[in-house]
Structure 1
Amino acid sequence: MGCSPAEFTSRPGRSCGARRLGYAARVQPQPDIRVTVRTLHLPQHSRPDRTVFAYFVRIENHADLTYRLTRRFWRVTDGRGAVTEVEGEGVVGEMPLLAPGGVFEYDSFVTIEVPPGIMSGHYEFQDAWGERVRAPIPEFRLDPNPEGGEPRLLN
């Protein structure tokens, strides 16, 4: 007994009622979901009191189960040590479904008052049985003057 992809796709944030008997061993405490982030300083949108960065996220599902990204949590620390935490549902208005081997990419932006800064966090995912898991977002720098002056892969 399981749920069809259509059932899982149409019910974000919920279990589709599949029985977990016999499936518990397949649920990984921390699935192999890999997150990489690139950043780009946006001087044309920055001012002396705020520095703006675009960030480009790639999420790859290397696990053997399908997961829906349901929540995000970010911790942003500027050069003075001021911390801002951001959390909420999905990313950029979506709750993407990542099948095994699936990839989801998106971009967004962040502002800090004093560079350089750092950013890290985690995504929360849910499988078809309602099991929630977290995938870490490794720490990366928000630096208007990276080595070489070019955007770089940070993790």
Structure 2
Amino acid sequence: MNVAITKGIKITVTALFRSDLTQLKKNLYFFNYSIKIENLSHNRVQLISRYWRIVDSLAPTRIIEGEGVIGEQPVLEPGETHTYTSGCDLSSSLGFMEGYYNFSTINDEGNKTVDFKVDVPRFSLEYGGKLN
């Protein structure tokens, strides 16, 4: 598990190799990652967008940017959490992902007031069969 806290937002990441989706003969390795977002702050916040840097040991680095996460822009009250699972493929057995989310603070009137970046800790994507 990898954890980072930025401005009262805690991000916890776990990654899992998916042998059922991986095709070793085609050099296609598939991974799932689950992310738990916890609002430890005293503010109501909304996740607006994401930025991912995906590093594959045998391929060019990919940059992924877009609105929300898996089609959602969750609003989190103080103390609330949001969890989701997504996936990533690599052309090698070793890589990692890292990035950040852009959040907005929402005031009592429902207006977005402050934008800030929340770091997602780097997490490894590794095929265990190669680590002997």
Q: Place the TM-score, normalised by the shorter chain, in its bin.
A: 0.7 to 0.9
- The whole-number CA distance in structure 1 between the counterparts of 2:103 and 2:10 is 12
Q: Shift in Å at residue 70 of structure 1?
A: 0.5
Structure-2 residue corresponding to 1:69: 47
CA RMSD of aligned residues (A): 1.4
User: How many residues are treated as equivalent by the alignment?
Assistant: 117
Percent sequence identity over matched residues? Answer: 30
Structure 1 length as normaliser, TM-score?
Answer: 0.72
What are the within-5 Å matches in structure 2 for residues 4-43 of structure 1?
Answer: 31-43=7-19
Q: Which runs of 5+ in 2 are unaligned?
A: 1-5, 107-111
- What one-letter code is carried by the residue in structure 2 that aligns with 1:141? S
Name the larger-Rg structure: 1
Shift of 1:85: 0.6
Question: Which one has the bigger strand percentage?
Answer: 2
Query: What is the alpha-carbon distance in structure 2 between the residues aligned to residue 81 and residue 32 of structure 1?
Result: 35
1:57 matched residue in structure 2: 35
Q: Among 76, 79, 84, which residue is 1:106 paired with?
A: 84
Q: What is the TM-score normalised by the length of structure 2?
A: 0.84
Structure 2 distance, partners of 1:97, 1:81, is 35
Aligned twin of 2:109:
none
Distance (whole Å) between structure 1 residues aligned to residue 98 and residue 122 of structure 2: 4
Q: State the one-letter code of the partner of 2:117.
A: R
1:79 deviates by 1.5
Which runs of no fewer than 5 residues in structure 1 stay unpaired?
A: 1-29, 147-155
Question: Where has structure 1 moved over 3 Å in runs of 4 or more?
Answer: none
2:70, 2:59 → 1: CA distance? 26
Contact 2:56 2:92 in 1 (8 A): yes
